[in-house]
Amino acid sequence: MYRTPPLGIKVLEVYRALFRSQLPDTLKAVRENLQEWRAVHVVLSETMTTRRDISSSEMREMLTKGIRPDGAPLEPGIAMESDRVPGGTLLTIVPDALKPKAAPEYGGWTYLPFLELRRRLAAFVGPALDAPPPPGGSIAQALLASPKGTVVYSGSSSQTSAPDFARALAGIVNKDRRVTLFDSVFGFEASAAEFLGQAERVFNMPGRRSDMLYFQDTWYAAFHRRGELKVAKTG
């Protein structure tokens, strides 16, 4: 379901005696690595330890609080280039609200924090599919093949029209809730009004290179990168 590249790995050492004074520099270094799409293992080195006025649990709490909302502690199921966690790791921090340098721009859309995207996709898959796609599989392609739900509009961009696509969406989009975009790698959100205003442009998106999914709780619009599309209600 998540085709996002696995997170790279960075190890940062911290020292108990210097932790408080060096915390701003530590958080700055963590943010720089998060923006490069890396998980950061913050490892406690006991070298130079001459005082114990701060516990490991206090250090973890200060790191977690200080990095929010840009990063967050590692959650189960997030892919990393290596699953090995170094000995002495206080906390492993992964990207969240901080937009990575590799993320594209979509006019009118706001980058969605990584962990929020994962939560939305997990909640969406249950009503929309009998089972999640296999690891590395495309959620959009699974939706195109799924018999679950009620099809509102389907076909290919060469056989259907942008105005018909826009009209189909206008009848099912909840105007009071934001729309989520998952471009197979990163997530974004926009108001329903913004999305509906872009509907014909979404249909005619030039150079589409990845499968794309637009959704709310009760409907989705899935695009195969080669032109096949499907709009369906899930509830």
Banded pLDDT at 1 (limits 50, 70, 90): low
DSSP string, 101-148: TT----TT-EEPPHHHHHHHHHHHHHHH-SSPPPTT--HHHHHHH---
Banded pLDDT at 47 (limits 50, 70, 90): low
pLDDT tens by residue, 67-87: 999 999 999 989 999 999 999
**Location of each CATH 3.30.110.10 domain in the chain:** 8-95
pLDDT at 103 over 70: yes
pTM value?
Answer: 0.90
pLDDT at 49 over 60: no
pLDDT tens by residue, 160-176: 899 999 999 999 999 99
Mean pLDDT for the chain? 92
Predicted local distance difference test score (pLDDT) of residue 80: 95
The answer to whether the CB of 219 falls within 8 A of the CB of 152 is: yes
8-95: CATH architecture:
2-Layer Sandwich (3.30)
The bridge status of strand 179-182 relative to strand 110-111 is: unpaired
pLDDT at 60 over 70: yes
Predicted local distance difference test score (pLDDT) of residue 53: 79
CA distance 210 to 181: 12
